[in-house]
Chains A and B, each alone.
Chain A
Amino acid sequence: MASLREFWRRYRQNPGAVLGLIIVLGAMAMALLAPWVFPDDPRRIAGAPYIAPFVTWQFPLGTDQLGRDLLAQLFYGARVSLLVGIVAALGAALIGCTIGALAGFYGGRLGALLMRGTEMFQTIPDIMLALVLVTILQASLTSVIISIAIVSWTTVARVTRAEFLKLRSQDFVLACIVMGMPSWRIIVSQIFPNVLPPIMVMTSIIAAGAILAESSLSFLGLGDPNSVSWGMMTGVGRSVFRNAWYVSGIPGLAILIAVLGINLVSDGLNDALNPKRRER
């Protein structure tokens, strides 16, 4: 508990990070509260089309070209965007950690093989691969999450491998081998906790990227057709952008703020978790 309080004390010192946390918590609140605040289907036609924002209390952010409530869609879109961001980032971290840990700990031929594989993924443009994967897997929330995880684990793998290489030759690891501990336990219980801080930072950056990637896919019409997401909203508003900018502008702004918030949080995490910066 003491270390958690210490962590919060350091985190708090960075005002940007606190702002980021407020943004992220706000987005999470939107996502969680959506069904209570807007019990009706957000894709339902609720009123007249093209109502501008801040005109009527009934639709604070206005309606789109079909007369759907933009605020309601924004709330429900937060669910999809955050879900994709978090789950895809965790998936990417899981793949990346596994591959990086194996490559860094065992090295040799296995390590070379795994890292060449990683480089292969790095050379393919992310968005292209994600597009192809979503097309093959059929557009659904799951396939979007899987494709984004598959294109974004490479940096985690490289960072994990580098940290494992560094820690593997440390005496305390040798001491564990001498103690008769099997390799998998050394990897999981001894080295991994030491690698966690950079991975947490990396994962939060990936979460921001995943929200952007999901938005791009939905904008291009490859998102889950059955759920509202911010990217899909920008895509829908695209055709009417010249007369009603707010239809795609408002969800675009939401994406921008959410991604900014997550990036600020990861910055704050980096500062608070990095022991080398503690003395500042």
Chain B
Amino acid sequence: MAILRVEDLAVKFRTSHGAVCAVDGLSFEIAAGETLAVVGESGSGKSVTALAIMRLLPRQTGVGISGQIRLGDRNLTALSEAEMQDVRGNQVSMVFQEPMTSLNPLMRVGEQIQESIRHHQKISAAASRRRAIELLDQVRIADPHRRIDEFPHTLSGGMRQRVMIAMALACEPKLLIADEPTTALDVTVQAQILELLANLRETMGMAMLLITHDLSIVADTADRTLVMYAGCMVEQAPTGDLLAWPSHPYTKGLMGSLPKARQPGQPRQRLTEIPGTVPPLHALPAGCSFAQRCHLAAEICRVDRPVAHAVARERLAACHFAKLEAL
């Protein structure tokens, strides 16, 4: 049963270069308890997708959103702002990239967590304080009774991110969106936070949408992975399969550019890179947007935009040359 179902999502911004499609024809599902990683480089539309789900994109000028975002049986794109406020924090929460600025510097961390609890649940101050301590304990902050009354500036980056996670989990949401939750942290802290997120997801049975540009994170945490390029999905597959047998040339290129540990005695290998750069979103080519950088590109790629199709069980790819393997 899918918790979140995104169908044909498109986000257009009107700019001085004309309409720009930041996200185009994106469809995916996340089942309860599942982690879907969305991978892509800067500007590929991953964060815009997250903001569209939370309905945080500016509503007024020059932003066009089409398609459906269904959470359970509700279509989020059709909700009023007041209804959306009830969804945010209660059913869908979000953790951001930058833990240093995500907490109000003037409020004790406990107050901030309690605020998110009491905003959605009618419980007493004492009960919400108990719950906040419980949450701090759950995100493994040592000595939660003392930490709850501290101000954010006394906490380290990793601890602040834990507090942010505690706030996001306060109302036990069905879906947690983590937008590059570990990018600003040290590598060792990164691993701890990811493990924490994985454990919490398991114990609470919530679904997670993990946005990242780091393929090494994906391998450990995500059940399925969706690769985005220039606003479109290029490939979607169970993470293990994707990393083992990437079927889209862009995914293959990404994998090829990852440094690998060298066995003693093996010759040095040069890292391969993907030639060229991402085309600007306001001047995307008519056919496949990856065609200019693709070593497989043929005439059809420059004329005809490939549609995502099944290439294997549970695997989708948007490439004319991605072969149908054993379905």
Contacts and interface: CB of A to CB of B under 8 A. Distances in A.
A105 to B, nearest CB: 13
Contacts of A176: 104
B103 A172 contact: yes
A175 interface: yes
A172 B119 CA distance: 16
A177 B88 contact: yes
Interface string A166-177: 000011101111
Contact of B104 (A178, A180, A194): A194
Contacts of A174: 56, 96, 102
Contacts of B90: 180
A171 B96 contact: yes
A125 B115 CA distance: 45
Contact of A171 (B60, B85, B87, B101): B101
B120 interface: yes
A180 B105 contact: no
A182 interface: yes
Size bin of chain B's contact surface = 20 to 34
A118 interface: no
A179 interface: yes
A180 B60 contact: no
Interface in B104-135: 104-107, 115-116, 119-120
B54 interface: yes
A180 B88 contact: yes
B319 interface: no
A39 interface: no
Contacts of B304: none
Contact of A177 (B56, B103, B115, B167): B56
A175 B85 contact: no
B87 to A, nearest CB: 7
A179 B104 contact: no
Interface in A156-205: 170-172, 174-182, 189-190, 193-194
A171 B107 CA distance: 14
B94 interface: yes
B87 A190 contact: no
Contact of B87 (A108, A180, A181, A182): A180
B164 A180 contact: no
A278 to B, nearest CB: 12
Contact of B85 (A180, A190, A194): A180
Contact of A179 (B60, B84, B107, B115): B115
Among B85, B104, B115, B120, the most chain A Cβ lie within 10 Å of the Cβ of B104
B102 A179 contact: no
Contacts of A193: 106-107
Contacts of B60: 108
A179 B116 contact: yes
B8 interface: no
A180 B86 contact: yes
Contact of A181 (B107, B119, B168): B119
A194 B105 CA distance: 8
A171 B102 contact: yes
Contact of B119 (A171, A175, A179, A194): A179
Nearest to A193: B106
Interface in A76-129: 108
Contacts of A182: 85
B107 to A, nearest CB: 8
B98 interface: yes
A6 to B, nearest CB: 12
A172 B87 contact: no
30 contacts: A108-B61, A170-B101, A171-B102, A172-B101, A172-B103, A172-B105, A174-B102, A175-B102, A175-B103, A175-B167, A176-B104, A177-B56, A177-B88, A178-B89, A178-B93, A178-B94, A178-B168, A179-B89, A179-B93, A179-B115, A179-B116, A180-B84, A180-B86, A180-B89, A180-B120, A181-B85, A181-B119, A182-B85, A190-B104, A190-B107
Given A178-B56, A180-B120, 5 more contacts: A108-B60, A175-B103, A177-B88, A180-B86, A180-B88
Shortest Cβ-Cβ A-B pairs, 8 listed: A180-B88, A180-B89, A179-B89, A171-B102, A171-B101, A178-B94, A180-B85, A172-B104
